Amino acid sequence: MRRATIPAIVVVVGILLLVDLLVVNGSLGQVADVAINAVILVAAGAALAAVAALALRRAGDVWRRRGDPVGAVLVLAGIGAMLVAGLRPGSAGATDPAVRWLISALLVPIAATLFGLLFFTTIGAARRSVAGRGRQALALVAAAAITLILLLPLGGDAGARMSAAASWALDVPIAAVFRGILLGVAILAAVVAARTMLGVGSADE
């Protein structure tokens, strides 16, 4: 009975939000808003629980001197700094200048560094793909190379034409492919989630 309760609630809320998206009704919209707020609260609670679990795990690593103690100390220091900046007396929460400074001075540069490393990883993956001489890999690398050439910061009339062509390529064919991928992944995730929650397996088909 308990196993069927949570899937039933999830299915009912999902159908409610879907109907609210398709049908314009004030009362239905209010009920959907309550459901969305409840989902947000549950997600916030799950996020807090995940942060607490991470802090306890890293504290255990430091206490038992296992894994990477230096990394564990840095993680704990980062969590503590954000908590102090956001929860100290007189703080404005997420909009507090101290929180914004920590994000802009620490998190953003770290993210930029990771994306910078991603460039070299992508180049290595492209080289291995070309070495394999697969048609799909060659087409992918060629399209990426053409897009990079069009995005070169050139001046004059040629640069303006290349910029316009790059904008068109990003807004029309590339954006269409991304939207198709996102729709396909979303539909597949919804189907798999529904099958899992309802307990439908291959033997039941």
Please, which pLDDT band fits residue 187 given cuts at 50, 70 and 90? confident
* pLDDT per position as a tens digit, 40-88: 888 888 888 988 898 888 888 888 888 788 888 888 888 888 888 888 8
Nearest to 36 by CA among 19, 50, 16: 16
Average pLDDT over residues 101-119: 84
* pLDDT per position as a tens digit, 25-49: 778 788 888 888 888 888 888 888 9
Q: What is the pLDDT of residue 90?
A: 82
Distance (Å, whole) CA 29 – CA 35 = 10
Q: What is the pLDDT of residue 172?
A: 85
Q: What is the pLDDT of residue 184?
A: 87
Buried b (16+ CB within 10 A) or exposed e, 34-70: ebeeeeeeeeeeeeeeeeeeebeebeebbeeeeeeee
Mean pLDDT across the chain? 80
- Contact at 8 Å (CB) between 150 and 142? no
Distance (Å, whole) CA 70 – CA 14 = 43
Q: Print the SS3 string covering the chain.
A: CHHHHHHHHHHHHHHHHHHHHHCCCHHHHHHHHHHHHHHHHHHHHHHHHHHHHHHHHHHHHHHHCCCCHHHHHHHHHHHHHHHHHHHCCCCCHHHCHHHHHHHHHHHHHHHHHHHHHHHHHHHHHHHHHHHHCCHHHHHHHHHHHHHHHHCCCCCHHHHHHHHHHHHHHHHHHHHHHHHHHHHHHHHHHHHHHHHHHHCCCHHHC
Q: How far apart are the first and last CA of the chain?
A: 23
